[in-house]
Structures are given as structure tokens and as C-alpha cells.
Structure 1
Amino acid sequence: MRITLRSHSDRLALWTGSHSRLAVSYSEDPVQVAGSLPRRPADERKTVLLLGGNGFVGMHFLRDLLDDERVEKVYILVRPKGTNSGEARLARQARKYKLALPDTGKLVVLEGSYLDPSMGLDRATYELLLSEVDIVLDAAGATTHEYPYSRYRREKVLPTVTLAEFCLTRRFKTLHVIGSVGSEVYKRRRDFFRGSFFFCGYSKMKFVVKHLSLRLSRDGVPIHIYQAPFALGGPGTAFRDPGMEYSFWNMIWHMVRQGQTWQSGATIPMVASDVLSRAVLNNALSAAPRVISYPVTPVTTAELAERFGLELVSWREFRAKLVRDNRFRLDEVSWRHPVSSTRRALARANFVRSLFPRCLPEILENIDKAATAPATTPLVPGLPAIDVLHANALNIRKLAKELPVTAPETGAVREAA
């Protein structure tokens, strides 16, 4: 079974602003191939292949898979780095995020890369995966936004097609891809030519992956896409996540420093990683998984203002003050290193503008509408989203030291250390 993304149709889709330009060809009818392959009965325990399991969200998937009675075995593909083995990298990530991985005897760590032919594995191991795996969970891929689309295309778009082929070879497998609500920013052709943080090569890749997955699914390929928002720390990590590495926390920090946020009917998309993991796995392990899901627990700007003691103002007023307070200033220039210091100062000012583009309210409204569509997966009840956000913020020193924070447990106000 061969699946091909036709002659750069993804680039044409981005250029024209139309996902209908995506074109895929098949060596055989995927519906007939899927129907002819052996598959495990619905009531039997499943074997799962996890990609990207050593990332922050991937570690949550791994923990929950190992602890799930519906899962018989978990293969995890980890790229070795330097002298560190795959097992050592997993153990280091578990310590970093304070996640205890249950020793259930299910885990098999494989060293390789999904970007390589046969996943970088020897032929016997690759054949074993083809014959044993029932579910492929793809949480792999870059998390930075700084590269052009061409790089993300190599690292995520084309590998998604290869994984779809893998799932229709030797044994029927379902493919579950972690996408992003960031792809919902594209609604008009001009959006594909905007230059802010939200309209970058990373977001374009997520747009293509979403619509490519939907196209493959319509053609009979067993692929499922999860439009995940910002994934924050949950109880399993004592509400710790990568912190200021996230654009999300940079945005919150600027609101906190300014003492303001804006009035909005749209919400801010986020979810605790443990909630995200349960939502994805419950769907993946169900007898009839949804094709597209939006596992989002939103926070309103009013909740944010109340919890952090911020003033609610209009978007126009908020952004005007933000841009004014973060403009390029000559006192940031070091006359011993004028070129490099000027570049840094300009980059900082431009980054703030890019994080809060003029169209941000429209972006959030588009995401809000998508995440409340009928395809949204019901989430397991847990802590209110604002409590999750607040608890994480207390663990980020750069944020916590800026203002007094109201503790949700007592309602008392304490000065953040």
C-alpha cells in the first residue's frame, strides 16, 4: 500500500488558502485494504506504538498507557542522543517533570526515529511492529515556532503520510495524531501571508496536518486528529510544565507586568496535560474513535483578571499600552556592541507585537468556535481551568514574583515569593 501527497499540493493549499487543494494518491483502495487486514477484536487488550513519548505531553501519554488495563504492551520509539540511551533519556525526562512511570512490565523502548526508513530499526524489529501494533499515537514533532514551513514539512507532514501507510500494512492499525488549535487561525487567504507569531511555518504545518488527516480519513485511512491547545502541568507534575518556554506563559507574563487584560467574549484555549492524555487515550482505545477532537478547557479573560488582580480594559487600550511600554528604546543599546544589542532590542519589541497582533481577538474567536463544535470530545471533569493556570503560574518564578496571587484553596491573598 503506497500513499503519496501529490506534487506539492500542500504548498498550493497554503498559497491559495484552500485546503481543498490537498491531493493524495493511493496504490490501492484504502477502504478495501483496511477491510482485508487482520485486526484485534474490540474486547482484547491493545498494543500501542508511541512516538514523541519523551516530550512533556508524551510523558503523560506514556504514564497513562502503562497504567491502563486496556493496553497489553507499549512500544516507545526514542531517538538516542549522544551517549544517552533511549531508556536513559526517558528516565531523565521523568525526573525533570516529576512523573512516576509505573513498572507494569508493558514497556519496550526502541531506539530509532520515525523520520528514517523503517523508523531506523532493524528489519526484524520493524516487521514485529507491523505485525503486532494496533494503535499508533503520534505526539512527535518540533515544538518551536522559529523554522520555515519547509522544515516542518519534512519533519511532520510527509511522515504523517508514511505513518498512514504503516497503519495499512500487515495489520490494521489506527493512527492518532496530536495537532494544534493553532491551525484554526487560518480562515481567509490573506491569513496565510500574515507575519506575526501565530501565522508562522509551525501553524501552517498544523493546518496542513489537520486537513490532510481529514482528507485521508474521508478516503478510508484510519487516522484521527486531536486539535490540542496549550498543554499545562497538572496534578501529576505538581502543576509544573516547561514554563517560559511556552508562548502561552510569555503572554500571561506580559499581562501580569502590565496589570491588565482585555474584555473578550472569546476564551483562551488550554488544558492540563493529564486531562489531555485521558481524553486522547479514551478516544484512541474506544471501539469507534472520533475523527477529529478538540480537547480544550478554556479560560476567560474575566477569570484571568479576577484571579490575578488585573484590570479589564478594551482590546484597543490594552494593546496600545503594551506596544508603548515595550517599544524599542535607545537605552537598551550598548555602545560597546551596538549592532548586536540593537538587534536584540528590536527583536524583543517585535516579539511582543507578534505575540499580541491586532487580530488576536479574531484569532481567539476562531479557535473558540472550532473548539465548541459538535466534534468536541467531552473531557473528564477535574479542576477548573483557571485553578490549573493559577497553580502552574505559582511554580514559574518569573511570573510568581510579579504580583500578589489569590490562592484558590483559601481565597486568601498572599504575596508570591
Structure 2
Amino acid sequence: MSVGKLSSEESLRPLWPHADAIMSSECRGLRFNGKYADVVALSTGDPTALRPTIDPDTRRRVALMPEARRDTALVLGANGFLGAHLIGQLTRDPSITRVYAMIRPTADRTAAQRLQDTLDGYEISVNASKITFVEGNPTDRHFGLAKDVFFDLAENVGLIFNCASSTDYTSTYLDLRSDWFLSLLRALEFSITTTRKHLTYVGSIGAHLYQRPEDFRRHDGWWYSGYAQMKWVNAALLGWLADSDTYSITLCEAPYILGSTQRGLDPGRAYSFWRIVEVAKAVGAIWDGPGMNYVPVDVICEVMAHNATSTDPLSRLLPSNPEDYDHSLYAELLDLDLVSWDEFYVRVSDMAGEKFAQTVLGDNIDILMRKVHKPEAILPAGHDASWCDHRRLFELYFSNVALKDLAPAVASA
């Protein structure tokens, strides 16, 4: 396992100023066994190294707070694919009176214009009258806001949805740490600032790639990546806090999030799933394995919103297809041969070379998919799963996504 220059427990010891340190002072309510407990946990594959204790004064202070209000929400990562759909879901919910959308303006686009661009691109309907824009950054202390603005926000928010993240599969964990691990600590601190709040954090089933000691010793790659390591670390931390009386948390472990059940629009080839489909189309075949776990974006938004606004939210969600299917459906819809994994790998290697096959397919994607794609879906009680019509949904997805034609590029290489 590679986490940049720091890859062993011995090399980290000079960085530990004392035991029971507060992790970079980002979350004053939590105490860890060392300042870099997350790196130690990842380097050793031992989540107990990341187990925190809750500061007694913090525990007593939060115990005096009333339960989180359920009618106002803050969305971190509001301008992303998932965040924008969640804005739509929350603003259409009659129980929600105000949605705070955290979006940074750019040199030529305001926060409102940026969100509108995303809403238009994915054809998302919203009740704009409920939206308040917060021009902040979840990776900055106090979200980059003036203190009075930060504390006013803390006073008025009841629900936090952390959809902000990186999908950069080439960066190491240490590259991502200062933004995406420390920002989770800041979100946890915000959740008990001034008032108690319920935090829903969007994780990834990719974190389940890290199960055995040898998984943590792998070199970084497309599948075993710094991104997956970051999701593993954050899930480990939230797992320790799940039963806490101080923090109110839901870890939503997301599978592939595809387009909505009605529009079928998603970021396309930005997702590794679609790149595999491109490869399959280029070689005219797909292997005879299980279909990936997935969830339409409107379904995961409805699940997260319903859970967070309930009086007793689940501490863990895994919204995904409750019924199994396999790649024979892809083969039929895309007119592909259904072949063994070995033959599929040979076809890809013959088409684009061994290095390309190793990068895109890893040792064996079929094994990886079986490892991370859990058979069970964890959904709120009474969830209506009638949306799960694989044939209808993938006909919709395949008709909408714009894929790159790999074959000509390979032929001319």
C-alpha cells in the first residue's frame, strides 16, 4: 500500500507529538491516539488505530442540546452530480423549509449560475425559492466563511449532507488527506457547533476493496487508489462514531450512482463503469459476470432525505439494486458476445496492449466486483423498490450516455 512518502509506522513516529492528540485541531470534540492516526490505520490496515474518544466536556455540552431540527439542510458539494439532484429532492420536500447550497463562484460564473448550469444539464427540477447560496468551501476551516456567517449558518442548519469529494483516482491518500479527511473532521465539528445536527456522509463501496492485510500493501492503481483509501478511512472513523450519543451520523455507502429513473443522465465516461462499457463495445464482448451494484441518483437522494428527516435515522445505508442481474443483459442490449473473463481479457489485451488491459481491468475486475458489490441493500423501512427494473433502466442509460469510440484510436496507434 502506498500513501506517498509516508508508508510505514516507523517513518510516522517523529510526526506524533504526543498521545491523545487532537487531529490537527479540526475536530475539538474527538481525541485520537496520534496526530496521524488515520495514516497509521491505513498503513497497518488496522481500523482500531483510528478509534477516537469523545472529549468529556464536549459530551456534556452536546447532551444539553435539543435534537437536530429536520426542516433545514446544508448540502456540501451542491454543484456536483449527486449534490444538485439532492438540492432538487430537498427543495421539493414539503417538510424542508430552507436548503443551504454551498458552492464556490468562479471568475465568470456566480454560485447561482453554476448551480443552474448543472440543473439544466441533468434536467433537475427544483423549488428555487427555498435555496440560500453559501459561497464557501468544505475543505477550508469554517468553510472559508467569515466567523459571523459561519456561526449563523451553524445556528440555522439542522441536517448536513456531505456530497463533496474527489473522484481523482491517480492521487495518493496523502494528496487527498488535507482536503477530504480533514474536511470530514470539520463537518463533524460543525455538526455540534451551536446546535446538534444530523450528518449524512456519502461514502463508497469501493472502500471494501481493502479487506485483507495484503490489500493495504498494494501499490496505488486505478482500483486500489488513494480515493478508495480515503473512503475506507472516513468510513472507519464514522463506524466508530455510529453509536455515539454525541454525534448523529449516517454513513451512506454508495455503489455506482447512475442517472435518474426518468432522465437517465449522468456524467458518463467520468465514471469507471462507463469506461469499461467503452472497452466492451470496442472488443465486441463482455465477460459473463454479475452486474454491478448501482443506484439511480434520484433513488439515493430520496433514500438519504427520507432517512435524515425521520425521527430515528439509520446509522448506515447501502442503497443499491435489491435484485441481482448479470452481464447477459448488457450483452443483449449492446449486441456483445458474452465470453469468459479470460477471453475478455485476451481480447482487450490484443486490442490495446497488455499495459492498457492491466490499467483498466486490473488483475481481475470480476473478482473485485464480487468483493465490493454486496448482495444486500440497506434501505429505510418501507422503501418502495419498484424502480428496480434493470432492463428498462439500462435501455434508458445506454440511450443517453455519450461514450468514446475506442476502436479507431486503437487501430491507428
Length-normalised TM-score, structure 1: 0.83
The residue that corresponds to 1:222 in the other structure is 248
The 1:71–1:57 alpha-carbon spacing in structure 2 relative to 1, beyond 3 Å, is same
C-alpha offsets along residues 27-55 of structure 1, whole Å, 9 cap, x if unaligned? 336654442112356xxx51111110100
2:326 maps to which residue?
300
Alignment check: 8 A CA contact 2:279 2:406 kept: no
2:68–2:159 contact (8 Å) kept in structure 1: no
Deviates more, 1:286-295 or 1:23-32: 23-32
Give the secondary structure class of the aligned counterpart of 1:218.
Answer: coil
Match of 1:155 in 2: 179
* C-alpha distance in structure 2 between counterparts of 1:39 and 1:157, whole Å: 26
- Residue pairs, 1:258-273, within 5 angstroms: 258-264=283-289, 266-273=290-297
Give the 3 Å change call, closer, same or farther, for CA 22–31 of structure 1 in structure 2: same
3-state secondary structure, aligned to 1:240: coil
Return closer, same or farther for 1:147/1:202 CA change in 2, 3 Å cut-off: same
Matching residue within 35, 40, 47 for 1:7: 35
Change (3 A) 1:399 1:118: closer
The one-letter code of the counterpart of 1:11 is V
Q: Please name the residue that 2:264 is paired with.
A: 239
> Which of 209, 213, 223 is the aligned partner of 2:234?
209
CA shift, 1:381, in A, is 2.3
- The answer on whether the counterparts of 1:33 and 1:168 sit within 8 Å (CA) in structure 2 is no
Separation (CA, whole Å) in 1 of partners of 2:44 and 2:141:
32
**Of 275, 290, 295, which residue of structure 1 is paired with 2:299?**
275
Equivalences for residues 341-352 of structure 1 within 5 A:
349-350=355-356, 352=357
2:194 aligned counterpart, secondary structure: coil
Q: CA deviation at 1:274?
A: 0.8
Amino acid at match of 1:326: A
| 2:375 aligned with 1:385 | no
CA distance in 2, matches of 1:197, 1:40: 39
For 1:48, what is the secondary structure of its paired residue? strand
Equivalent position of 1:58 in the other structure? 83
- Kindly indicate whether the alpha-carbon contact (under 8 Å) linking 1:4 and 1:161 is maintained by their aligned counterparts in 2: no
Provide the residue aligned with 1:415 in structure 2: none
Q: State how far apart, in whole Å, the 2-side matches of 1:13 and 1:386 are.
A: 42
Q: Encode CA deviations 1:272-301: one digit per residue, 9 max, x unaligned.
A: 111111111111111111111111126521
- Tell me, in whole angstroms, the C-alpha distance in 1 between the residues paired with 2:333 and 2:191: 46
CA separation in 2, counterparts of 1:17 and 1:40?
34
Distance 1:219 1:235, change over 3 A: closer
Given that 1:147 and 1:202 are in contact with CA atoms closer than 8 Å, whether structure 2 keeps it comes out as yes
Q: State the alpha-carbon separation in 2 of the partners of residues 254 and 158 from structure 1.
A: 36
3-state SS in 2 of match to 1:319: helix
> 1:17 is aligned with what amino acid?
G
Where structure 2 has 5 or more consecutive residues not aligned to the other structure, the ranges are 1-27, 408-413
CA distance in 2, matches of 1:15, 1:56: 32
Larger displacement relative to structure 2 (381-390 or 121-130)? 381-390
Q: 1:312 to 1:30 in 2, by over 3 A?
A: farther
> Which amino acid in structure 2 is aligned with residue 366 of structure 1?
K
Q: For 2:134, what is the secondary structure of its paired residue?
A: strand
**1:133 Cα offset (Å):** 1.1
TM-score with structure 2 length normalisation? 0.84
Q: What is the Cα deviation at residue 204 of structure 1? A: 0.3
The total of aligned residue pairs comes to: 373
Match of 1:144 in 2: 168
SS in 1 for 2:286: strand
C-alpha distance 386-34 of structure 1, shift in aligned 2 (>3 A)? farther
Distance 2:155 2:73 in 1: 12
Structure 2: distance between partners of 1:180 and 1:244: 18
- 2:242 corresponds to which letter in structure 1? S
In the other structure, the counterpart of 2:25 is: none
Residue 376 of structure 2 aligns with which residue? 372
1:312 is matched with which residue? 338
Aligned to 2:121: 96
Q: Indicate the residue corresponding to 2:310 in structure 1.
A: 286
Aligned CA distance change for structure 1 residues 379 and 145 (closer, same or farther; 3 Å) = farther
CA offsets 1:133-190 (integer angstroms, 9 cap, x no match): 1110000111221211112211111111111111112111011001111111111111
Q: Distance in 2 between matches of 1:27 and 1:397?
A: 51
State the 1:14 CA deviation: 1.4
Among 267, 274, 281, the alignment partner of 1:249 is 274
Q: Who is 1:35 aligned against?
A: 63
Letter of the structure 1 residue corresponding to residue 350 of structure 2? R
CA displacement 1:324-343 (0-9 Å, x = unmatched): 22107xxxxxxxxxxxxxxx
Alpha carbons 1:260, 1:318 under 8 Å: kept? yes
Question: For residue 45 of structure 2, what is the amino acid of its counterpart?
Answer: G
Aligned partner letter, 1:171:
T
- Provide closer, same or farther for how the CA distance between residues 164 and 327 of structure 1 changes in structure 2, counting only shifts above 3 A: same
**In structure 1, C-alpha distance between the alignment counterparts of 2:164 and 2:235, rounded to whole Å:** 15
Quote the Cα distance in structure 2 between the aligned partners of 1:395 and 1:211. 36
Q: Does structure 2 conserve the Cα–Cα contact (< 8 Å) formed by 1:30 and 1:219?
A: no
Task: Quote the Cα distance in structure 2 between the aligned partners of 1:356 and 1:299.
Answer: 21
CA distance in 2 between counterparts of 1:197 and 1:131 reads: 41
Q: Give how far 1:123 is off.
A: 2.3
The answer (yes or no) to whether the contact 1:394–1:400 under 8 Å persists in 2 is no
